Copies of this chain bind each other. A is one copy, B any other.
């Protein structure tokens, strides 16, 4: 829609993302978000009722990234390999930016909500990758792999790197070796 209200909402989400990535979830209050966005208390609360709501909006947005919109690409009949390459590029880029990792914030957020919410988000990722790999196999572009196995490896190796890149310094070669592994499993 692009109205002023939408733009402010987007701005809150973007600003908060950086704050949560840097500080985790627990340490951050609505007051911190007010300060960072320079919105009044009333202004902020007219968009979100809590840091939990803001964080959930961030998670939803992460799931809607263009490179991760496999469903739309598949509907257009795009090559599975092309869709995969775009996703791997995005993953590599994200893994190379440990400062943007939400791992700690997600961990802490989970301590504050019914776990069902996070399982829902996890399921989105699982379903997305499952459908892409099945699509690639059906088109003869991907090897006939055990889909569930590869999906688990992709999801958790990515999360492991996202988390550990905040603990130790990782080289771009490490990230590339991981995307290369995923590519080799799938592409004929």
Contact = CB atoms under 8 A, between A and B. Distances in A.
A45 interface: no
Interface in A141-156: 146, 148-150, 152-153, 155-156
A157 B178 CA distance: 10
A107 interface: yes
Contacts of A167: 106-107, 110, 115, 118, 122
A21 to B, nearest CB: 13
Contacts of A177: 146, 148-149, 152-153
Interface string A148-188: 11101101111111111011110001100110110000000
A103 interface: yes
A96 B125 CA distance: 21
A168 B115 contact: yes
Contacts of A32: none
Contacts of A149: 177-178, 180-181
